[in-house]
Structure 1
Amino acid sequence: MSNSLQDKVAVITGAGSGIGRSMADTFLAQGAKIVVFGRNPAPLAEIAANNQDRVLVVPGDVTNADDLSRLVAESVKRFGGVDIVIPNAGIAKVASFADSDTAAIHQQFSVNFVGAVQTVRGFLPHIRKGGSVLFVTTFLTQVGFPGLAIYSASKAALKSFSQTLAAELAPQGIRVNSVAPGPIATPIWGSIGLPPDVLQAVAGQVTARLLPGAFGEPADIAKTAAFLCSDAAKNIWGQEIVVDGGYTVG
């Protein structure tokens, strides 16, 4: 694998599993130094085990302001500044519209939107010129999926925010883009709140629309992320790149 991210410093939240973990592995393989952040310290420690000189582990929760402040402080203390910020941490819960009360809305928006935005805001004074911010949205901003209205709305807000932020940060030489995963085989599918038999049925329906005939892999998103954060993508600003196996084609 190329060293397209050689010596760049990347911060990845939600790095303990799924897409975040794959991003951490991919960015390391491409030469980056990384800061990994998440609620469970154990998988973060695994990432650092053989890369102590290039990995900083900071346990915490993106909904906790003190944790985010500590993330920024420790990252800057260790690496001086950062080049890439990927606020990947997110949650998805199935909830019908009838059940989408204030608490249900707040739960997902606090992580998916507010947590992501505040992560980037904390790092803003420390992102070097030529740096990159990459938000993680979803293909569900383009299609309707019953029970995921709140999740989709939180990501749609993030998509809109990223486009505006791209214009705002461009004078500082900071690129802002988004990657929108489609159906990806990650642990989040098992935590959305559906019974196993229903989850299997839904997965079958989704797979039928995928052109490769199978869910994507976390590495598909991680490799796209690495490209978007590299100098090879220096002329890509304010875009959302959809990686969905063709689901939204038709």
Structure 2
Amino acid sequence: MTKLTGKVAIITGANSGIGLATAKLFAREGAKVVITGRREEALKEAASEIDGEVLAITADAGKIDDIKRVISTTVSKFGSIDILFPNAGIAPFFPVEQTSEALFDEVIGTNLKGPFFLVKEAIPFLNDNGVVIFNTTIAHTKGFPHTGAYVASKAGLRSLVRILTSELKEKGIRAVAVSPGPIDTPIFSKLGKSEEEVEQMGAAFAAQVPLGRFGSADEIARAVVFLASSEASFVNGAEIVVDGGLSQV
């Protein structure tokens, strides 16, 4: 398993869930992995679970100074970057009428502004034929209630994929996205809902999926590895859906 041998990859929000699963798989495939997260202890624990060369940087994915430090520290350590996976995101679900300006700014700052400026700071150090992979969502195609700020941020990422596909083509850098459906990750415990509400929400989502279940972080990670590898060398500007068929029926 050496699809990514020698590649340098940055994964934000890698304390747990999709980010951590992807970091583990990247390392198994031979990549040098840079992981970030806001919680230092959780990040250290995550790093200890990764079997390979890993650099852990405590950073807030929505803060410009932290973003610049992630890029400069990575380049100082490894010289350049091959794979960028701005995965960090938050998903507080509230109706539009209950969404405060502060909450909206937090969601957009973490989910859209952060990835935008991570890419901006990384571009001078992205190797030719590198790849930028965003983590979007099928929700931007469905119109689920109570997802306004979250979906707005993810729809912005989908559009950014198309822009970067054009802007980075001279260096052969691909821009793509993985679009998960309902995935069993810790993000569902951070929705600002009670445990009962989270369980009800989860059951409702699972019932709508043709495969009848949530996906796993590992299933998303395998899709990200494909997108990052030479096996996807002609996949560009695309959003790969991994949702058990939910968005197709």
Question: Scaled by the length of structure 2, what TM-score is found?
Answer: 0.96
- 2:171 equivalent in structure 1: 172
- 1:211 equivalent in structure 2: 210
| Paired amino acid for 1:66 | D
1:51: how far off? 6.3
Give the secondary-structure state (helix, strand or coil) at the position aligned to 2:74.
Answer: helix
- Measured at CA, do residues 233 and 52 of structure 1 come closer, stay the same or move farther in structure 2, by a change above 3 Å? closer
Q: Give, in whole Å, the separation in 2 of the partners of 1:223 and 1:52.
A: 16
The 5 Å alignment of 1:1-250 reads 2-49=1-48, 54-250=53-249
Q: Give, in whole Å, the separation in 2 of the partners of 1:38 and 1:192.
A: 18
1:46: how far off? 3.0
Q: Which runs of 5+ in 1 are unaligned?
A: none
Question: Scaled by the length of structure 1, what TM-score is found?
Answer: 0.96
- Give deviations 1:125-159, integer Å, cap 9, x for gaps: 00000100000000101112111111011100110
| Paired amino acid for 2:35 | V
Q: Give, in whole Å, the separation in 2 of the partners of 1:172 and 1:249.
A: 34
Q: Give, in whole Å, the separation in 1 of the partners of 2:59 and 2:216.
A: 26
1:49: how far off? 3.3
Q: Give, in whole Å, the separation in 1 of the partners of 2:185 and 2:50.
A: 24
Q: Would you say the 8 A contact 1:18–1:218 is kept in 2?
A: yes
- Measured at CA, do residues 208 and 230 of structure 1 come closer, stay the same or move farther in structure 2, by a change above 3 Å? same
1:22: how far off? 0.4
| Paired amino acid for 1:111 | T
- Measured at CA, do residues 190 and 83 of structure 1 come closer, stay the same or move farther in structure 2, by a change above 3 Å? same
| Paired amino acid for 2:220 | I
Q: Which runs of 5+ in 2 are unaligned?
A: none
Q: Give, in whole Å, the separation in 2 of the partners of 1:216 and 1:204.
A: 13
Q: Would you say the 8 A contact 1:25–1:47 is kept in 2?
A: no
Q: Would you say the 8 A contact 1:112–1:154 is kept in 2?
A: yes
Q: Give, in whole Å, the separation in 1 of the partners of 2:211 and 2:197.
A: 23
1:201: how far off? 1.7
Answer with 96-105 or 76-85: which moved more: 96-105
- Aligned residues: CA RMSD: 1.4
Q: Would you say the 8 A contact 2:24–2:51 is kept in 1?
A: no
- Measured at CA, do residues 49 and 190 of structure 1 come closer, stay the same or move farther in structure 2, by a change above 3 Å? closer
Give the secondary-structure state (helix, strand or coil) at the position aligned to 1:31.
Answer: coil
Q: Give, in whole Å, the separation in 2 of the partners of 1:27 and 1:135.
A: 16
Q: Would you say the 8 A contact 2:179–2:242 is kept in 1?
A: yes
Aligned residues between the structures: 249
Give the secondary-structure state (helix, strand or coil) at the position aligned to 2:132.
Answer: strand
Percent identity over the alignment?
Answer: 37
Q: Would you say the 8 A contact 1:47–1:55 is kept in 2?
A: no
Give the secondary-structure state (helix, strand or coil) at the position aligned to 1:57.
Answer: strand
Give the secondary-structure state (helix, strand or coil) at the position aligned to 1:115.
Answer: helix
Q: Give, in whole Å, the separation in 2 of the partners of 1:19 and 1:49.
A: 16
- Measured at CA, do residues 53 and 214 of structure 1 come closer, stay the same or move farther in structure 2, by a change above 3 Å? closer
